[in-house]
Structure 1
C-alpha cells in the first residue's frame, strides 16, 4: 500500500524496516523528511533470499525518477542469517552512532538501488552463559541516541520479545530479552487458562485494578508465578466477586497480563533507582501498559514512538554512511 507523494520534493534515499512478518519503506528527501511511504506483508518469513530484490523494487519503483541511483538503508530481519544477506551481529558494548560500520550490501541484479543492510547486536557473557541477540531494536535505540547523543539509562522496547537495554553515553553496554508477550499468548491460547481469559481493556477500572494489583503482587514474590497462574483458573471457578461473562474474562486477562509483565519487571528493574525514568520505545498502547506496570512498582517512564525512533535511527545510519563516503 502506498501513500500519496508530497508535492515539490524529490527523492534522495529510501529507509526500510524489514521485519519477520512485514516490510515498511519510506521515501526520504534531502532533509530526511518523509515524502512517501509503503508497506507489504512480505516479511522475512514469506521470502527466500533471491526474492528480496524483486519485492523491494515492486514496493519502491513508483517513487523512482526516470534515471539515477538511490541509497536504501535497511534495518531488521533482511540482515538475518535466514534473510537477504547476513549482516553479522556487532558485540556489545557498541556505540549506536556506529551501527553503519557493520552494514553489508547484498548482490543486486538491477542498478537503480544501492542497498545497505544494518547489523543487529549480540551479547555473550560466558561466565553466566548469558547469550542474547537483537535485530531491528538497535536501530530504534539509535533513534533515541540521534536525539540525545550522550544518553545513559535503562530502555525498554516492549513486544512479543521485550528488550531491556542499558545505555551509557550513547552505547549499548548490555541487554536482556524477555519472552513475555509470547508467554502471555501461549498461556492465554494454549493452556488451561484459555477457558478463563478473554481480552482486557485498561481503560476499564476493574481491568486496570486487576492488572496493577497483579504486577505489584508478582514483582514482590516472583517465585510464586507458576502457582498464581493456576490460581487464575481457580479464581474463575470459585470467586463470586468477579463479574459475569465477558467482563469476567477481561478481568482475568488483565490479571494474567499483570502477572507476566510483573515477572518481567522483577528481573529487568532490579537496582533501578526510582528517580531515574525508564525510557519506553514502541507503539503507544503497549508502552502505556508498561508505564502503568512500572508505576505500580514505584518507577516512572518516558515514551518515544517506535516508528519515530526507527526512522531517526535509519537517518543516523544514512548520515554516517554518507559522511564516510560509503554510499557516495
Structure 2
C-alpha cells in the first residue's frame, strides 16, 4: 500500500477534535482538525474505493489515522466521496435535488465498526431526474466541494463548474443545488488520445507554449460556434497531421494537436453547459490550479469570466459545514 502522512504538530492526539476524509475511487485523503477546525495533521493513501471491499474500509482508515487518536474516547470522522457509494463501505443514498448544501449531513449513514475509537459518518451524493426520466444524473463527492461555497455565504447563487474526468456543472440557487449536468470530457479526451486513430498524432500539450495555446483557443472557438461538427473535426486532427506542412516538427507537432483536441473536447462541453448563461456573471471553478486555468482560458475565449476555489479548500470547507450541522 502506498501512503503518505504529514503531521504539523507533535501532540496531535491532545488537540484532535475530529477527522475529515475525502474517499475517492482511487485515493483516500484524511485531515485531522482541532477544536478551531484548523488542520493539524494530514495523510493520504492509494486505497480508494476500487481497491477495497466493504469490510476493509475500517482497517484502512484506522491504519492511516491511528497515530492521531487520543488514548480514550471516540473521534468523529466525516467522510465524503465514494466510500458512501453502493459498491463502497456503506451506501449513503443520493439526495434528490433541489437540496440545500448545508443539510447534506441529514442524509449521512454510520457504518457499524468493530472498534470504538471512531464514529464514521458517510455523506450522501446528489441525484437528478428530469422530463420523464430523460435526464438522469448523479454526483458523489462534488456536492461537498459545492457545499464549501456556502460556508461563508449560505444563500450563494450562481453557476459552478468542477472540471475533471467527469466534469460537473451545477446551478446553485440560494444555497441549494437546483440542477446539474455531467460531461465526460476528461475521459473522452483520454479515450480519443490513447485508443482511437488519433493516438498516432496526439502528444502531450503544454498551454504555456504559444503554439499550443493558439491551437487550444482556436479549437474552443470553432467547436463552440458549430458543435455539430465535432466528429468531423476530430478526424481532421489526423488529416492535419498528415497534410499540414505549417505544423511544427518533432514533439511540438504532437503537442499542438493535443492542445487542439483538448480545445475541441472542452469547447463542446461549454457549448452544452453555458451557452444560455448570462456573460455578466462569473462562473465559479472548483478544482486544481492547472485544470482550472485551462477552463478559464476556454471560458474567457467565449466571453465568460471566472473565479477559482481550490478543490482541497472547498472539500474541507464542505466537510466542516457538515460536521457543524451534526452538533
**TM-score by structure 1 length?**
0.97
Question: After superposition, where does 1:81-160 map in structure 2 within 5 Å?
Answer: 81-127=86-132, 129-160=134-165
Q: How far apart in 2 are the matches of 1:87 and 1:270?
A: 34
Deviation readout 1:215-271 (Å, 9 max, x if unpaired)? 010000000000000000000000000000100000000000000000000000021
Question: After superposition, where does 1:151-190 map in structure 2 within 5 Å?
Answer: 151-190=156-195
Cα shift at 1:68: 1.4
Q: How far apart in 2 are the matches of 1:233 and 1:105?
A: 52
1:76 aligns with 2:81: yes
Structure 1 counterpart of 2:307, from 297, 302, 319: 302
Cα shift at 1:315: 0.1
What is the aligned partner in structure 2 of residue 235 from structure 1?
A: 240
What is the aligned partner in structure 2 of residue 65 from structure 1?
A: 70
Structure 2 counterpart of 1:213, from 186, 210, 218: 218
Cα shift at 1:107: 0.8
Structure 2 stretches lacking a partner, 5+ long: none
Q: How far apart in 1 are the matches of 2:6 and 2:274?
A: 41
1:250 aligns with 2:255: yes
Q: How far apart in 2 are the matches of 1:3 and 1:118?
A: 25
SS in structure 2 at match of 1:310: helix
Aligned residues: 322
Q: How far apart in 1 are the matches of 2:97 and 2:221?
A: 32
What is the aligned partner in structure 2 of residue 280 from structure 1?
A: 285
Deviation readout 1:162-200 (Å, 9 max, x if unpaired)? 000000000000000000000000000000000001110
1:316 aligns with 2:321: yes
What is the aligned partner in structure 2 of residue 202 from structure 1?
A: 207
Cα shift at 1:66: 1.2
What is the aligned partner in structure 2 of residue 325 from structure 1?
A: none
What is the aligned partner in structure 2 of residue 326 from structure 1?
A: none
Q: How far apart in 2 are the matches of 1:185 and 1:302?
A: 26
Q: How far apart in 2 are the matches of 1:101 and 1:193?
A: 47
RMSD: 0.9
**TM-score by structure 2 length?**
0.97
Cα shift at 1:128: 5.7
